[in-house]
A = this chain, B = another copy of it.
């Protein structure tokens, strides 16, 4: 398929493909250590933290679980607003880690307001920044601040899986203590790496737990440019290459991603489609299916034009469809996708 319009994995950055075409590097050699440290430094800049970023071989879910396991002890009480598939996952992970989880259930598509999380008595708040399943963007700085005023000792953990490199993010400046992300979204690399960013405050609160997911052990190794377990070093090279390209012109990159996603919503509006989220993330445009149109018809209209799109998840399955230009697409390719979107819908909703 020529047009990968799913909200991750995404169309790869050419620098990622180039990096992956290189001969194998052994991770316990000086060139690999330099590469690993470079990737960590660039990720630290991307997450905007004075703390540390750990690179884990695994998915974003693994990074989310590592974050929860290493910052909270069983029995501790955490608040988890649930407003989509990935915030649901955060709650499940916290439960599986033995935490006492208070879910704050919201309809899919909504995001929590600061008032709702300004409740004392919690060791932590777990939030999804860009809820990929609904296209909603939570106001992370306002939520973190409200929570921390009520819980000065509490830690804020954020899923930045589809916001890193797609929308502005910041750890300490926003009052976020820890964040998880992955390689296959805004970083435009293949899947296989998860990242855990830890603020200086989170670093002080780290407690060893688990084996593969023990971040204390990782931290010790990664400070030296190594990793506790054999890393997907080829992907680390891809991540470093993309960050080196994108970070120096991050502002323009984020502006492009915002413009591209707005363009998708604009086309949707012209077609009379209803947007799913109120507060929109630039990572993905999510639309309700038109009355009486099954998801399969939309998927097939795009597939006939060599495009892969995403459907709904959880309670939104069969009710919405999602398009994303988070991958390596420039301005003109986005305009092409806008045309493709219109043509696909001409098949589905013929002009009356």
Residues of chain A having any CB pair with chain B under 8 Å: 1, 4, 6, 8-12, 17, 20-21, 23-29, 57-62, 65, 92-93, 96-97, 182, 184, 190-192, 210-213, 229-235, 308, 310, 327
- Chain B residue at minimal CB-CB distance from A190: B234
Residues of the B chain whose Cβ atoms lie less than 8 Å from the Cβ of A232 = 190-192, 232, 235
Are the CB atoms of B191 and A230 closer together than 8 Å?
yes
Given A62-B58, A96-B211, A234-B190, A9–B21 Cβ distance below 8 Å? Answer: no
Are the CB atoms of A210 and B12 closer together than 8 Å?
no
Are the CB atoms of A20 and B23 closer together than 8 Å?
no
- Chain B residue at minimal CB-CB distance from A5: B26
Q: Which of B11, B26, B233 contacts A23 (CB 8 A)?
A: B11
Are the CB atoms of B230 and A190 closer together than 8 Å?
no
Given A12-B24, A23-B11, A229–B57 Cβ distance below 8 Å? Answer: no
Bound-complex Cα distance A26 to B4 (A): 8
Question: Top 6 A-B pairs ranked by shortest CB distance?
Answer: A192-B232, A190-B234, A59-B229, A96-B211, A61-B229, A59-B230
Supplied contacts A60-B229, A182-B230, 12 more A-B pairs, CB within 8 Å: A9-B27, A12-B23, A12-B24, A20-B20, A24-B184, A57-B57, A57-B62, A61-B211, A61-B229, A92-B211, A190-B234, A232-B232
A20 → chain B closest CB, angstroms: 5
Bound-complex Cα distance A96 to B23 (A): 36
- Chain B residue at minimal CB-CB distance from A210: B96
Are the CB atoms of B191 and A59 closer together than 8 Å?
no
Residues of the B chain whose Cβ atoms lie less than 8 Å from the Cβ of A25 = 9
Residues of the B chain whose Cβ atoms lie less than 8 Å from the Cβ of A28 = 6, 310
Residues of the B chain whose Cβ atoms lie less than 8 Å from the Cβ of A327 = 24
A-B contact pairs, 26 of them (CB 8 A): A1-B29, A8-B230, A9-B24, A9-B26, A9-B27, A9-B233, A10-B24, A11-B24, A12-B24, A17-B21, A20-B21, A20-B234, A24-B190, A24-B327, A27-B191, A29-B308, A58-B62, A59-B212, A59-B229, A59-B230, A60-B229, A61-B211, A62-B212, A65-B211, A93-B211, A191-B234
